[in-house]
């Protein structure tokens, strides 16, 4: 170094050589810059293009100088690029100038390059013309690594936030398409049958997607993918190259996706619309996406498995009852005219099969029936197992004629025996059919009406089908309306008991009373017991009514006593459901103790359905009630399936002959024969025989002659509120009853 220069630097003076900076020196510095430098003039023409820029873009300086700068931007933006620059020239608003950002551009070979770009601008020369200078640093590899890492984190966060897997897959495809402009990304699943199905690929042409989804991989394909994941390219591109090119796709990079257990679970592919052959870095992006695509697919399969468990019957694979409601709702919500049929199918006497062959064989039988139903159904039919031995089939675009035809085909096909554990079983079905829109605006109505029709079918046409009728619909509406009103009335104490006297046929004295439920609703008016008792049984309120009747009737006995009327016994009707409740004997015992009433003053009436019930709890309950000292009466004996052998085994104290036999007692020899037989059976078994529905003196005389014990009916009194019964017991009506009994006895003795 020259000493003079050194002393000058020491003294703070600038050497003359450093002060003598020229434009040529500045340009030489830019020429040697490690980053690409591009300068454009006021006409957007490239006036400077350094060697680093040549290396980035692949163009020589001579190929670029004097050309519009748009030749250096991606082809998709070239048409609008000048307008962006002119807007800045005109407004002076710098959205890009003075900032640094990452951009993607095409090189001469057609590859997409990532770079960090910063732009500055200046007014130069006497005319103050605006020039722009861009610095570009190539960051392709680093950029892609960072973007893939960011995308991976985004995917994991989306999955942890319970985003739908389909939406996560869409997110992956969109982001990768932004990494490589002018491309289409697709995630493809491989199902259990080795068929391809697209999880996400919104930009993929439909014809190409359809071609892929018709493909099933062979064992050779799977073996090749297992050895080399990039073999996926030959599967999703080589076989369809001509189709892809016709649809504007020119290149493809793909990789198989392998799950943690080593199974090939899918393929990730990236298709390019760019006609130039790109380098291999898009393949690196595809390979970098494979690990988190595997996580996406595993989550999708897990969600599908959970959905399968939540929406499908584990035995048959059919939809469950919850899912079929959803499907029917979606069919109802379809726009335009729409009609379909809902079939509720129940297997006749399936319990016998289960009890005889065991539950495992019963399940095998159900699976065989399900398979046969599936074989008989078309691909667009929806099948469901709603529980137990009940199935539902929803048939789209189906009117009543088509529904009946399908039902007949089901019944006919089921006549072919099914072999289970060496047994040939013939299936008998009960089929109920409802139609949309005729039978309801929602899934509940349609399934409910189909079930009502099926129950009617099992009663009236076992082994056949019934189409839901207007009467069925009215009955269902009746149950819904009355069931709600009944529940409200029970809660508010709006039910009451009426009592019908029972008269000793020998003495004319009061033998007891039968308690009968009555319901007068403030808006619905008087509702007959035959109507609301049936609704109570269907809606599960019958036990509540029975318990209330026991409480109310025993309380009334004490009220009458305080008023001077002694009622020897009160009969209360209880349902079959009550007798299957193990707590019934304890309930009766508690009520009697609380009231301080002798057990023999209460009689519980049972129906023939209770009599025929082989349930062990029912039999033990009847015995326990009788052991309390409470009477047991068989109501309406002889009208159903009464069995004399069962009659002898039950601890009954009383038999009641139904009014249907008494109506024609005077003129019908058969009615007289049955009545005579029942009275004789009761007398021989030591039971009291009570005859209901006595309305004429002639009937009374006949019953006296047959040695009946007790009578009740309109001849003596109708069912009455408690206060009226008290008046009856003290008034002329009771005296008339005594006189009738006495006169009939006297006449009978005279004839003898």
| Distance separating alpha carbons of residues 22 and 654, to the nearest angstrom | 130
207 and 267 together in one domain = yes
Q: pLDDT tens digit string along 552-566?
A: 999 999 999 999 999
220 and 273 together in one domain = yes
DSSP state of 137: E
Confidence of residue 424 (pLDDT cuts 50, 70, 90): confident
| Distance separating alpha carbons of residues 729 and 458, to the nearest angstrom | 48
344 and 395 together in one domain = yes
Q: What are phi and psi of 243, to 5 degrees?
A: -65, -45
**Residue 525: partners with Cβ closer than 8 Å, 6 or more residues away:** none
The whole-number pLDDT of residue 361 equals 87
What's the total number of domains in the chain? 4
Range of the domain at 458: 321-468
Q: Does the residue 135 lie in any domain?
A: yes
**CB-based burial, 49-75: b 16+ in 10 Å, e otherwise:** bbebbbebbebeeeebeeebbbbbbbe
128 and 78 together in one domain = yes
Question: What is the end-to-end Cα distance of the chain in Å, rounded?
Answer: 165
Q: Is the dihedral of CA 550, 551, 552, 557 positive or negative?
A: positive
Q: Please check the confidence at residue 1 and state whether its pLDDT lies above 60.
A: no
Q: Does the residue 168 lie in any domain?
A: yes
77 and 107 together in one domain = yes
Q: Does the residue 639 lie in any domain?
A: no
Q: pLDDT tens digit string along 361-391?
A: 888 889 999 999 999 999 889 999 987 889 9
The whole-number pLDDT of residue 156 equals 83
400 and 449 together in one domain = yes
Q: Does the residue 565 lie in any domain?
A: no
Q: pLDDT tens digit string along 73-87?
A: 877 677 778 887 887
CATH number at residue 253: 3.30.450.40
Q: Does the residue 23 lie in any domain?
A: no
Asked if residue 621 lies in contact with residue 579, where contact means CB atoms within 8 angstroms, the answer is yes
CATH number at residue 403: 3.30.70.270
- The string of DSSP letters for 41-102 reads -TTSBEEEE-HHHHHHH---HHHHTTSBGGGGS-GGGHHHHHHHHHHHHHH---SSTT-EEE
Question: Residue 410 belongs to what H/E stretch?
Answer: helix 400-413
Q: pLDDT tens digit string along 99-135?
A: 778 787 778 876 777 788 888 888 887 888 888 898 9
Confidence of residue 185 (pLDDT cuts 50, 70, 90): very high
Q: Does the residue 122 lie in any domain?
A: yes
The whole-number pLDDT of residue 613 equals 62
Confidence of residue 739 (pLDDT cuts 50, 70, 90): low
| Distance separating alpha carbons of residues 87 and 45, to the nearest angstrom | 16
175 and 127 together in one domain = no
Tokens 């019930």 identify what position? 613
Mean pLDDT, range 394-421, rounded to an integer? 90
284 and 359 together in one domain = no
| Distance separating alpha carbons of residues 63 and 66, to the nearest angstrom | 9
Q: Please check the confidence at residue 200 and state whether its pLDDT lies above 50.
A: yes
Lowest-pLDDT range of 306-310, 395-399, 462-466, 742-746 = 742-746
Question: Residue 726 belongs to what H/E stretch?
Answer: helix 722-730
| Distance separating alpha carbons of residues 130 and 126, to the nearest angstrom | 11
Q: Which residue has the higher pLDDT, 340 or 299?
A: 340
Please, which residues bridge with residue 515 across strands? 499, 572
| Distance separating alpha carbons of residues 49 and 44, to the nearest angstrom | 13
The whole-number pLDDT of residue 35 equals 87
Q: Which of 166, 158, 111 is nearest to 138 (CA)?
A: 111
Q: Does the residue 573 lie in any domain?
A: no
Asked if residue 73 lies in contact with residue 38, where contact means CB atoms within 8 angstroms, the answer is no
305 and 335 together in one domain = no
122 and 228 together in one domain = no
Domain boundary (416, 447, 468) is at 468
Per the confidence metrics, is the pTM higher than 0.75?
Answer: no
184 and 49 together in one domain = no
The whole-number pLDDT of residue 164 equals 79
Q: Which of 440, 438, 456 is nearest to 344 (CA)?
A: 456
Percent share of the chain, pLDDT over 70:
88
Q: Which residue has the higher pLDDT, 198 or 303?
A: 198
Q: Judging by beta carbons within 10 Å of its beta carbon (0-12, 13-18, 19+), is residue 412 exposed, middle or buried?
A: exposed
181 and 250 together in one domain = yes
The whole-number pLDDT of residue 22 equals 62
**CB-based burial, 709-744: b 16+ in 10 Å, e otherwise:** bbbbbebbbebbebeebbebbeeeebeebeebbeeb
Question: Residue 270 belongs to what H/E stretch?
Answer: strand 264-272
Mean pLDDT, range 409-437, rounded to an integer? 87
**Residue 174: partners with Cβ closer than 8 Å, 6 or more residues away:** 185, 202
CATH number at residue 740: 3.20.20.450
Domain boundary (139, 156, 171) is at 139
Q: Please check the confidence at residue 752 and state whether its pLDDT lies above 50.
A: no
Token duo for residue 277 = 């052959």
Lowest-pLDDT range of 129-133, 140-144, 188-192, 666-670 = 140-144
The whole-number pLDDT of residue 712 equals 93
Mean pLDDT, range 541-547, rounded to an integer? 89
Percent share of the chain, pLDDT over 90:
28
| Distance separating alpha carbons of residues 743 and 737, to the nearest angstrom | 10
Q: Does the residue 228 lie in any domain?
A: yes
Domain boundary (96, 114, 139) is at 139
């Amino acid at each position: 170094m020259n000493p003079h220069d050194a002393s000058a630097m020491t003294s703070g003076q600038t050497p003359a050589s450093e002060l003598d900076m020229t434009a040529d020196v500045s340009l030489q510095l830019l020429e040697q810059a490690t980053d690409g430098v591009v300068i454009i003039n006021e006409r957007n023409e490239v006036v400077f293009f350094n060697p680093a820029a040549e290396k980035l873009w692949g163009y020589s300086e001579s190929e670029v100088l004097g050309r519009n700068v748009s030749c250096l931007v991606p082809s998709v933006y070239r048409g609008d690029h000048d307008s962006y620059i002119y807007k800045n020239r005109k407004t002076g608003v710098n959205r890009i100038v003075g900032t640094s950002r990452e951009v993607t551009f095409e090189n001469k070979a057609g590859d997409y390059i990532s770079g960090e770009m910063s732009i500055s601008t200046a007014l130069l020369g006497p005319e103050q013309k605006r020039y722009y200078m861009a610095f570009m640093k190539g960051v392709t590899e680093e950029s892609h690594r960072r973007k893939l890492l960011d995308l991976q984190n985004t995917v994991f966060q989306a999955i942890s936030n319970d985003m739908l897997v389909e939406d996560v897959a869409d997110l992956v495809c969109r982001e990768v398409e932004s990494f490589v402009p002018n491309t289409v990304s697709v995630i493809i699943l491989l199902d259990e049958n080795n068929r391809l199905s697209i999880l996400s690929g919104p930009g993929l042409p439909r014809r190409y997607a359809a071609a892929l989804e018709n493909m099933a991989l062979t064992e050779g394909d799977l073996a090749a993918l297992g050895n080399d994941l990039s073999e996926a390219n030959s599967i999703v591109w080589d076989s369809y190259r001509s189709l892809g090119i016709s649809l504007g796709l020119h290149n493809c990079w793909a990789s198989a996706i392998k799950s943690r257990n080593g199974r090939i679970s899918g393929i990730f592919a990236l298709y390019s619309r760019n006609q130039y052959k790109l380098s291999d870095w898009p393949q690196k992006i595809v390979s970098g996406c494979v690990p988190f695509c595997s996580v996406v697919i595993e989550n999708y399969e897990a969600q599908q498995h959970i959905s399968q468990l939540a929406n499908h019957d584990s035995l048959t694979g059919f939809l469950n009852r919850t899912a079929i409601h959803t499907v029917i709702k979606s069919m109802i919500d379809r726009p335009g005219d729409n009609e379909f049929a809902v079939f509720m199918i129940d297997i006749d006497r399936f319990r016998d099969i289960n009890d005889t062959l065991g539950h495992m064989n019963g399940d095998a039988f159900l699976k065989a029936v399900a398979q046969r139903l599936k074989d008989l159904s078309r691909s667009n039919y929806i099948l469901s197992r709603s529980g137990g031995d009940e199935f539902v089939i929803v048939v789209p675009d189906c009117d009543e004629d088509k529904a009946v035809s399908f039902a007949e085909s089901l019944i006919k096909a089921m006549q072919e025996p099914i072999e289970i554990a060496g047994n040939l079983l013939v299936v008998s079905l009960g089929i109920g059919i409802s139609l949309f829109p005729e039978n309801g605006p929602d899934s509940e109505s349609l399934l409910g009406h189909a079930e009502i029709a099926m129950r009617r079918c099992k009663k009236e046409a076992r082994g056949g089908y019934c189409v839901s009728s207007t009467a069925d619909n009215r009955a269902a509406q009746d149950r819904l309306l009355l069931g709600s009103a009944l529940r409200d009335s029970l809660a508010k104490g709006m039910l009451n008991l009426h009592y019908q006297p029972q008269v000793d046929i020998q003495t004319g004295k009061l033998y007891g009373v039968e308690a009968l439920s009555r319901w007068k609703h403030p808006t619905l008016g008087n509702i007959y017991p035959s109507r609301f008792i049936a609704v109570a049984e269907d809606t599960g309120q019958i036990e509540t009514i029975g318990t209330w009747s026991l409480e109310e009737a025993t309380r009334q006995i004490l009220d009458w006593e305080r008023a001077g009327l002694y009622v020897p016994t009160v009969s209360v009707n209880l349902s079959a459901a009550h007798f299957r409740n193990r707590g019934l004997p304890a309930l009766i015992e508690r009520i009697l103790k609380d009231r301080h009433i002798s057990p023999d003053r209460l009689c519980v009436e049972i129906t023939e359905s209770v009599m025929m019930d082989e349930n062990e709890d029912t039999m033990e309950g009847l015995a326990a009630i009788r052991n309390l000292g409470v009477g047991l009466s068989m109501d309406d004996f002889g009208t159903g399936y009464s069995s004399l052998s069962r009659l002898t085994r039950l601890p009954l104290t009383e038999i009641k002959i139904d009014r249907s036999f008494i109506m024609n007692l005077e003129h019908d020899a058969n009615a007289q024969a049955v009545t005579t037989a029942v009275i004789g059976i009761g007398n021989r078994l030591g039971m009291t025989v009570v005859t209901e529905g006595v309305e004429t003196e002639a009937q009374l005389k006949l019953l006296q002659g047959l040695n009946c014990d007790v009578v009740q009916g309109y001849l003596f009194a109708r069912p009455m509120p408690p206060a009226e019964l008290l008046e009856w017991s003290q008034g002329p009506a009771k005296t008339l009853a005594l006189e009738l009994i006495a006169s009939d006895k006297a006449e009978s003795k005279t004839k003898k």
